[in-house]
Structure 1
Amino acid sequence: MLTKTLTALCTTVAITFSVTAAPTPKVTTLEIGAQAPDFSLEGTDGKTYTLNSFKDAKYLVTVFTCNHCPDAIAARGKINQFAKDYKDKGVEVVAISSASMDGVMLWENAFSKYDDDFESMKKVVKEYELVHPYLNDGEAPQEASQAYGAVATPHVFIFGPERKLLYQGQFDDGKRDPGPAKNSPAIDAMNEILAGKPVTKPTSRVFGCSTKWHWKSEMVAERTKEWEAKPVSVAPMDTELAKAIAKNDTNKLRLINLWSTTCGPCVAEFPMLVETYQRHSLRPFELITISIDDKEDAQSVTDFVVEQHLPLARWTEKSVKKEGRETNNFHFQGDDLEAFAKAIDPEWQGPIPYSILIAPGGEVVWRHTGELDEQELRNVIIDELAKVQKPKH
């Protein structure tokens, strides 16, 4: 169904914009023996790097990567360790982020704590204590990524003393597992090069997320339109439904947010909650919002949620309907707020906004009173989802 939709979409776009749309550039990966293209890119340390910046290294390993891709995330620590292990052997590693923010759909960040903007790259460097430079090529026209022909993340290129390409392809076959891999074509190639031997396998397939080129923005815009066209609704909630939702008899990680239209911090954080739901909706994750406004304010609650536009994501619809619901937006309209509180979370003391993260089976694994910090929320969701679901390649 998705393939047919994308095919139809591409056909429509081609017909509609056949006169004005710029053609998609052809990206060709460097061939073995090719000279390393020069570049001029800003690093997270504030310095501008060119190919000449690495002139003192006998061998240069250029890795095109990004922040959001689970394959890149899994390889990040291993590539950093490789940089440490081989530095004294005349090998220098440089990582280049090839992802354009314009070409990344929000749900493609489902496995990442960070976006692909420059400031987030700095956070990655700090968290992983990267010992190698991390450069930004995410701004259009992504000249370095195109020049090298970086088709996926991570994509590794090894150059010799004269900056001729000796190897290009995957780093290892660990795919989305950050642990030791069975095979590492890049390390094997590097070892052969250091031993003065010909590289047995100078190329390998690059299994990973496709490079997010800036020209994919049209597809991102179409997906945004699809989201904006989805219906939004709010259903009444009673204590029994609250108990069932808190029990979380599903395989999903469930974020529940208690709020009110009269609560400033609740209103302020709501757009971020909508984005958080979109971001992680590809995985077994859902957001359930529950207003505790007076029942006479039902229309105001509905109007607000519609204005903020919080529908069911297409990956969530089936599971929600299987539970007998049509929405994940609710308005508690009962008279016994004390009973409702005990049903949702006995530890809730009453202030709003109040958010809890419930693991499959009903265990509350995280609680937060007051306005949410977006980065903290992302971190805990990613950590808890890792316990629920391992990424599949």
Structure 2
Amino acid sequence: MNRLSNVLAAALLAGAVSLTAAESPAPKKKGPAPVKGEVSGGLPPDARRLALGDAAPEFKLLGIDGRQHTLADYKAAKLLMVVFLSNHCPYSHAAETRLIPLAQEFKSKGLEVVAINPNSPDGIRIDELGYSKYNDSYEEMKLYAKDAGFTFPYLYDGDHQVAAKAYGCLATPHVFLFDQERKLRYVGRVDDSRFEDLKSVTSHDARNAVVELLAGKPVTTAKTIVMGCSTKWNSKRDDVAKADEKWKAEPVALDLIDAAGVAALAKNSSNRLRLINVWATWCAPCVAEFPELVSLSRRVGNRDFEMVTISMDDAKMQPQVKRFLEQQHAVPSARLKKLLAAEGRGALNYLYTGASSDALVQALDPEWPGPLPHTILVAPGGKVVFRHNGAVDPEVLKRKVIELLGPYYTPEEKR
């Protein structure tokens, strides 16, 4: 099966989405004016906001092709679209499905598209990466652009964010369209949809601006709101550290479970993708892979996903098992805790009490050959969509989970 994104609904990444309106720059002495309607994100004090008619700021940035790119490299183009995109943002992912064909359609007519990743990898919380296999590092930009099929340059600005500040990048995606004299003629979104489905688009704003400018006409709608994932500024690294500390302070719950309880988990009556990992403290591969499982759980913690762990330790080892789980910070996200409470559930970590291993195998996964660790992914309704016996490759598992959850928001998802 390709993806469960139409089944597995997901909430927006906590604190990741910004709904903003582009504004003219404020007087220099006072700094940038506040942005109307701004929910999150915003600009640092040393950033500016380009006004319509402003000249395109210079830049010198490293592209994924390994060379430095400057504004002058694109002086021959009739129109230049500087668009800020990112590896991790589902709004950006959706917009790119329209942006790539737009760039191809109008390239022969004089449009040059240059994409810039404004984000600092140090400013992104792990739970803001739940819609992508990649973070926003330069090296992973190469992988993401290849997967996405980028046909235009993709430049990295994450270390110093000079271009992001010069252009006033509020979020990804954020479009700046310049005429042949490199004066700003359109600023805002790619279009009005946050979804992948082209039918969900009702206003092709960036495309309309390109068509009008190439026809020698003024842009009818020259400014639109900017909808997407807020720019991850270097200054947010303290927030990332605070989020990590808050996670580590969360209490860990551990319950006992028998074969009947395991069978109920395997049926997965929830609407979430469920990862079930069977392990033990005496199992070296189990202990070695556990941190990566927790990291994955945190990464997709704001999506419809849950990780269940089942320890095969002796019941008298319960204190040691809980201590290990506490050391690993194996706790659900705040969002998932609320959902579990509404369902009358508490712990996602269990200690198996049955004497028979056969009963556990039959209850969980009859195809499990027996050794530890054993990991399965169970779709809503109980179908096992992935299984692995032995230590699982964390990259393979991450890719599978993202594939099943999908890289885009869908109309079914809750805001």
Given the superposition, is the C-alpha separation of residues 387 and 106 from structure 1 closer, same or farther in structure 2, using an over 3 Å criterion? closer
2:297–2:306 contact (8 Å) kept in structure 1: yes
Match of 1:356 in 2: 376
The one-character-per-residue Cα deviations of 1:121-171 (angstroms, maximum 9, x if unpaired) are 1111111221111111111x3110000001111000111222111111101
Match of 2:304 in 1: 284
Return the letter of the residue paired with 1:49.
H
Instruction: Say which of 311, 322, 347 aligns to 1:302.
Output: 322
Instruction: Say which of 64, 76, 79 aligns to 2:84.
Output: 64
Does 2:112 match 1:85?
Answer: no
- How far apart are residue 351 of structure 1 and its match? 2.6
Partner Cα distance (1:342, 1:302) in 2: 26
Q: Which moved more, 1:250-259 or 1:290-299?
A: 290-299
2:194–2:409 contact (8 Å) kept in structure 1: no
Given the superposition, is the C-alpha separation of residues 388 and 186 from structure 1 closer, same or farther in structure 2, using an over 3 Å criterion? closer
Q: What secondary structure is seen at the aligned counterpart in 2 of 1:349? A: coil
Return the letter of the residue paired with 2:142.
K
Match of 1:378 in 2: 398
Instruction: Say which of 154, 158, 175 aligns to 2:173.
Output: 154
Match of 1:3 in 2: none
2:91–2:408 contact (8 Å) kept in structure 1: no
Q: Which one has a larger percent helix, Structure 1 or Structure 2?
A: 1
The one-character-per-residue Cα deviations of 1:268-293 (angstroms, maximum 9, x if unpaired) are 22111111111111111100011223
Given the superposition, is the C-alpha separation of residues 107 and 365 from structure 1 closer, same or farther in structure 2, using an over 3 Å criterion? same
Match of 2:29 in 1: none
Does 2:161 match 1:142?
Answer: yes
Match of 1:107 in 2: 127
Q: What secondary structure is seen at the aligned counterpart in 1 of 2:367? A: coil
The one-character-per-residue Cα deviations of 1:304-336 (angstroms, maximum 9, x if unpaired) are 211111122211112323444321111212100
1:271–1:308 contact (8 Å) kept in structure 2: yes
Return the letter of the residue paired with 2:278.
L
Q: What secondary structure is seen at the aligned counterpart in 2 of 1:168? A: strand
The one-character-per-residue Cα deviations of 1:86-111 (angstroms, maximum 9, x if unpaired) are 11111111110111122222212222
- How far apart are residue 303 of structure 1 and its match? 2.2
Match of 2:346 in 1: 326
Partner Cα distance (1:133, 1:374) in 2: 30
Q: What secondary structure is seen at the aligned counterpart in 2 of 1:362? A: coil
Match of 2:19 in 1: none
Q: What secondary structure is seen at the aligned counterpart in 2 of 1:371? A: coil
Report the TM-score, using the length of structure 2 for normalisation. Answer: 0.84
Instruction: Say which of 29, 42, 55 aligns to 2:75.
Output: 55
Q: Which moved more, 1:325-334 or 1:283-292?
A: 325-334
- How far apart are residue 51 of structure 1 and its match? 0.9
Match of 1:368 in 2: 388
Partner Cα distance (1:100, 1:387) in 2: 20
Q: What secondary structure is seen at the aligned counterpart in 1 of 2:108? A: helix
| RMSD of equivalent CA atoms | 2.1
Within-5 A mapping of 1:1-393: 24-25=44-45, 27-139=47-159, 141-180=160-199, 181-386=201-406, 390=410, 391-392=413-414
| Aligned sequence identity (%) | 43
Q: What secondary structure is seen at the aligned counterpart in 1 of 2:345? A: coil
Structure 1: where are the runs of 5+ without partners?
Answer: 1-5, 7-22
Partner Cα distance (1:378, 1:178) in 2: 24
Matched length: 371
Partner Cα distance (2:331, 2:359) in 1: 28
- How far apart are residue 26 of structure 1 and its match? 5.1
2:192–2:204 contact (8 Å) kept in structure 1: yes
1:59–1:92 contact (8 Å) kept in structure 2: yes
Structure 2: where are the runs of 5+ without partners?
Answer: 1-14, 16-42
Match of 1:11 in 2: none
